[in-house]
Structures are given as C-alpha cells and as structure tokens.
Amino acid sequence: MHIISSVRSRLFAAVVLALLVLTAPAAFSAPIGVAITIGPPALPVYEQPVCPGDGYLWTPGYWAYNDEVSDYYWVPGTWVLAPEVGFLWTPGWWGWGGGAFIFHEGYWGPHIGFYGGINYGFGYFGVGFVGGRWDGGHFFYNRAVVNVNVTNIHNVYNTTVVHNTTVSRVSYNGGNGGLTTRPTAEEEAAERDRHVAPVAAQTEHAEAARNDPQQRASVNHGRPEVAATARPGEMKGAGAVPAREAEEHPGAEQGARPAVPNDAKDLQSHPRPAAPNTGNAKQDRKYQQEQDKLAAQQEKEHQKLAAQQEKEHQKLAKRSDNDPAKQQMEQRHQQQTQQMEQRHAQQQEQMEQRQQPRAGGGARPK
C-alpha cells in the first residue's frame, strides 16, 4: 500500500477508506492505496509485445499513484505466468467514492471480476476477458485479440471480436467524466471466489515503474516511454514498447481486430493455423489436409469477390464520388467484404475447435 506523506492526508485517507468499506457495493474489490481528488490520465495507446511463451497471461498497463511525488505513473502492461492453472487476471481500477479516487487492486481468480468497465484493450474491453481461455489444464490464446507467435505456441484459436461502441480511453469509474459501468451478476459472483494477490513478479514490475521518473505523468504527459513489456521488469531493450500518438489510428481499439476494409482486395489474409500436433501422425495428416483445403477454398472465394468488385470499380470509375450509383456500389462492396470476412473467421474457428485435443488426449469428437 502506498503511504500518503502528510499527517492530514493520512487522516483524510483513513476516513475515506473506512466509509468506502462500509458503503461500497459487494461486487467491488477491497479499495487500497491513496485517496486523491484528481483522476488518472487517459489510457495511452500502445502495441502489445508478443507473448514470450506458453502459460503467460496478459496483464494490462494502468496508472498508479506515487504519493511521495504526488504524481501518477504508468505501470506497463506485461505478460505474467499465472500463479495457478485455471486462474485469470482481473485488472485493478480507479473508482470515485466518498469524495476521492480510490484504487482497487487487481487479483488472480477462476473468473474475471469487475474492473470498472475500463477498456484496457487486448481482450479486456470493459467486461470479462476474450483474449483466451483455459482448457484441459492449458491456456489457449485468441490470436484475433492477443499477439502470439503460432510457430512457438500451438494452443491458439481465432474468434473475431467486434465492437460497435465508441472506443473510450477513460481510465476511471465514477466522478467527473468517469465511466458509469456497474458490475454484472457474473462479476458480483466472481467477487466471492478465492482470490490470489499479484505475484512477486508483478509487484517488482510495478516498483520498477514507480522508481523510473520517465513513467510519471508530469514527465511523459500521458505518453510513457515504456507502455508495455514482454516480461515483468523489462524496462529497457527490445521487449519495452513505447506509447504512440492516439491519433495514429483514430477510433482503433487496442487488441481488437482491425476494421474490415470496403473492398476484398484490401483484406489481409487470415494467419494459417499451427501445424496439427495430436501425437497421432495419421490424424495430423488428416487435419493438415483439412486446413489446406479450407485455406484454398477461402482464397478462391476471396479472389473471385475481389475480381468482381474491381470490374464494378472500373465500370463506374469516371463517375463522381457523390454519384448515387457509385455510393451504392461502395456500400454493397463493404457489406460483401464484411460478410465474407465474418464467414471465413467462423469457418476457421469451427475447424480449430474441432481439431483441438481433448483434456484426456486425442482430438475432439466431430
């Protein structure tokens, strides 16, 4: 727990924390830390480092508060080994209550609890977590959301996450300008699970950020030099990722699949699934043939639609952009492309789920 420097602040914080413990909803995790009246800065925009290995789970970056210098500092997002099989990370969050902003510590547990409705990105979009799941004692990564190298990590799947709401970088709940999200029934139930506090690697990681002046909001003005790291404590080198300008990709959501373009020719190809490895050579060959067949089928459909759309573009090329016929064509192309992209993603996900090994060994039944 951080300590407020002045005696007056200590007394104020103690009163506020006592009131919060008595009045906070049951779904809120226990508040700890300092009580301040100025909310944390907006969440910085950054790229997620590649997952360093099997079993690592993503823990989002967040603003913490250093009472010794009266300033917020950024604790970089990082990959951390889960303390127990089946445990997931519920991020910490800032919330307004009792006349002050209070930080609610994150924790490990079997289910994701309430984290203020804050969109931390990379699977943590305000409610729950869609970046991966535990299955048969192994963690499977959703490569549509998190950054994994399928050459090194084979337990992956692909589920496209679509968000139609406006992306928010607000980093706190309640108060002036804060989010108004309340806990769901599932999040309230998760609060009653057995929880594990942040592991030593996370504590040391946060302390390294606290001791680095460049991580302070007054110095980096909301764009920390190290916004994310591949492993806890890697504040320098190739594993350290800086924040970038929020305007580089207006409206882009961290960790979400890029927006589908209007035309099929501009679509990026889906990454190929990892080579089957069920332990049965015959079964692996069969699964590989299924993957190759689906990839060829999707590529053929992709090229056919791209050629059809290009012919229509050429036919209407000389018309002005505000011509009704040209506008209708663009709308039709966008719908066609989105429908194909969604269909292909579903096909890949269904195939991967069918080919995933069962907990007891072997492939899943069809």
In sequence order, the 6+-apart residues with CB closer than 8 A to the CB of 118 are 43, 91, 93, 124, 126, 170, 171, 172, 173, 179
153, 138, 164: which is closest to 273 by C-alpha?
153
Neighbours of 68 (CB within 10 A): 11
* The pLDDT value given to residue 357: 62
Indicate if 310 and 184 belong to the same structural domain.
Answer: no
For residue 361, being part of any structural domain is answered with no
Indicate if 183 and 268 belong to the same structural domain.
Answer: no
What are the structure tokens assigned to 18, written together?
Answer: 């006592």
Give CA–CA dist 251/235, Å, rounded: 28
Indicate if 77 and 210 belong to the same structural domain.
Answer: yes
For residue 313, being part of any structural domain is answered with yes
Indicate if 275 and 191 belong to the same structural domain.
Answer: no
Strand order of the β-sheet with 138-142 is 132-135, 138-142, 156-157
Task: Please say which residue of 248, 273, 303 terminates a domain.
Answer: 248
* The pLDDT value given to residue 299: 87
145, 327, 347, 340: which is closest to 260 by C-alpha?
340
C-alpha count within 13 angstroms, C-beta hemisphere, residue 83: 15
CA distances in angstroms from 22 to 7, 18, 95, 116, 260, listed in the order given:
23, 6, 15, 19, 48
331: containing domain? 264-355
For residue 135, being part of any structural domain is answered with yes
Indicate if 283 and 322 belong to the same structural domain.
Answer: yes
For residue 156, being part of any structural domain is answered with yes
Indicate if 67 and 179 belong to the same structural domain.
Answer: yes
Indicate if 215 and 321 belong to the same structural domain.
Answer: no
Indicate if 57 and 187 belong to the same structural domain.
Answer: yes
Indicate if 181 and 59 belong to the same structural domain.
Answer: yes
For residue 165, being part of any structural domain is answered with yes
- Going from the first residue of the chain to its last (366 residues), give the mean pLDDT of each consecutive group of 10, the final group possibly shorter: 34 41 42 68 94 95 95 97 96 92 96 95 92 93 91 86 64 90 91 95 97 95 95 90 66 46 67 73 89 89 89 81 75 76 76 66 45
For residue 285, being part of any structural domain is answered with yes
Give CA–CA dist 132/180, Å, rounded: 26
CA distances in angstroms from 29 to 13, 21, 143, 191, 349, listed in the order given:
17, 10, 30, 7, 35
For residue 257, being part of any structural domain is answered with no
Give CA–CA dist 298/304, Å, rounded: 10
Indicate if 210 and 284 belong to the same structural domain.
Answer: no
Indicate if 203 and 74 belong to the same structural domain.
Answer: yes
pTM: 0.62
282, 296, 294: which is closest to 363 by C-alpha?
282
* The pLDDT value given to residue 29: 47
Domain count, the chain: 2
Task: Please say which residue of 222, 248, 274 terminates a domain.
Answer: 248
Give CA–CA dist 253/55, Å, rounded: 25
For residue 281, being part of any structural domain is answered with yes
Task: Please say which residue of 248, 273, 290 terminates a domain.
Answer: 248
Give CA–CA dist 353/339, Å, rounded: 21
